[in-house]
Amino acid sequence: MKIVGQKDVKLDKAFMEEVAKRSGENVFLCYQCRKCASGCPSRMFMDSTPTELMRYVQLGMVDEAMKTNTIWYCLSCQTCSARCPQDIDIAHVVDTIRILVQEKGIKADTKNMRLFNRLWMNILKYAGRMYELALTGMLNVFTGRPFKDMSLGIKMMRKGKLKLLPSIRKPFAMMKMFSRAKRLKK
Amino acid sequence: MKIAYYPGCSLHSTGVEYDISTKKVCAALGIELVEVEDWICCGASPAHQCDELMSVALPAKNLALAARTDNLKEICAPCASCYSRLKFAQERMTDENMRKNVEQIIGSEYPEGFKVLHMLDVIVEKTGTEAVKEKVVKSLNGLKVACYYGCLMTRPPKVTGKQQFENPTEMESLMEALGAETVDWNMKTFCCGASFALTQTDVVLKLTRKILADAVSAGAQAISVGCPLCHANLDGRQEQINKKFNTNFHIPIFYFTELMGLALGFEAKDLGIFKHLTEVEDFLKERALV
Ligand code: SF4
Ligand code: SF4
Q: How far from B272 is each of A182, B29, B156, B170, B254, CA to CA, in Å? A: 41, 19, 32, 24, 11
pLDDT in tens, B218-275: 999 999 999 999 999 999 999 999 999 999 999 999 999 999 999 999 999 999 999 9
3-state class of A83 per DSSP?
Answer: helix
Give backbone dihedrals phi and psi of A90, rounded to 5 degrees, phi first: -65, -40
Distance B177 CA to ligand 2 centre (A): 34
Helix residue spans in chain B (DSSP H): 16-28, 44-50, 52-68, 80-92, 96-106, 119-121, 129-135, 157-160, 170-177, 201-217, 228-236, 238-245, 256-263, 281-286
pLDDT at A4 over 80: no
User: What is the number of H-type helices and E-type strands within chain A?
Assistant: 10, 0
Q: Domain boundaries in chain A?
A: 13-104, 111-185
- Residue range B26-35: average pLDDT? 96
Strands B144-147 and B222-225: what pairing? parallel
Kindly provide the b/e burial profile for residues B227-265, where b requires at least 16 CB atoms within 10 angstroms of the residue's own CB.
Answer: bbbbbbbbbbbbebbeeeeeeebebbbbbbbbbbbbbbe
Q: Render pLDDT for A20-32 as a digit per residue (tens, 0 to 9).
A: 999 999 999 999 9
Pick the ligand that lies closest to the CA of residue A36: 1
Q: Point out the least confidently predicted range of A98-102, A134-138, B190-194.
A: A134-138
Q: Answer yes or no: is pLDDT of B133 > 70.
A: yes
Tell which residue, B51, B228, B208, B98, has the closest CA to residue B153.
B228
Which chain A residues are closer than 8 Å to B38 by Cβ? 169-170
Average pLDDT of the segment spanning B147-175: 96
A54 Cα to the center of ligand 1, angstroms: 8
With CA atoms as reference, the chain A residue closest to B80 would be A77
Which residues of A are less than 8 Å from B46 in CB distance? 116-117, 120-121
Question: Is it the case that residue A6 has pLDDT exceeding 70?
Answer: no
Q: Does A109 have pLDDT greater than 80?
A: no
Atom 2, ligand 2: residue with shortest CA distance: A74
Cβ-defined contact of A121 to B57 (cutoff 8 Å):
no
pLDDT of residue A2: 58
Res. A139: pLDDT tops 90: no
The letter for the amino acid at B187 is: M
Ligand 2 mutation pick, A49, A55, A90, max ligand atoms within 8 A of CB: A90
Residue A111: what pLDDT? 67
A44-53, A143-152, B190-199 — most confident range:
A44-53
Closest ligand to A40 CA?
A: 2
Q: Distance between CA atoms of A136 and A148, rounded to whole angstroms?
A: 9
DSSP category for residue B98: H
Ordered structural domains, chain B, with CATH: 2-119 (1.20.1050.140), 137-286 (3.40.50.11810)
| Ligand 1 proximity of A172 Cβ (cutoff 6 Å) | no
pLDDT on residue A3: 56
Question: Which residue from B235, B265, B243, B242 is spatially nearest to B10, judged by alpha carbons?
Answer: B235
Size of chain A in residues: 186
- From the list B38, B40, B277, which residue is nearest A155 (CB)? B277
β-pairing, B253-255 vs B115-118, is unpaired
| Residues B215, B196: Cα–Cα separation, whole Å | 22
pLDDT tens-digit map of A84-93 = 999 999 999 9
Of ligand 2's atoms, which has the minimum distance to the CA of residue A79? 5
Tally C-beta pairs within 8 A across A and B: 159
Contact between A47 and A65 (Cβ < 8 Å): no
The least confident of A120-124, B19-23, B175-179, B182-186 is: A120-124
Per-residue model confidence (pLDDT) at position A157 = 83
A39 Cα nearest atom in ligand 2: 5
From A40, A56, A73, A96, give the residue whose CB has the most ligand 2 atoms within 8 Å, as the site to mutate. A40
CB-CB contact of B45 with A91 (8 Å): no
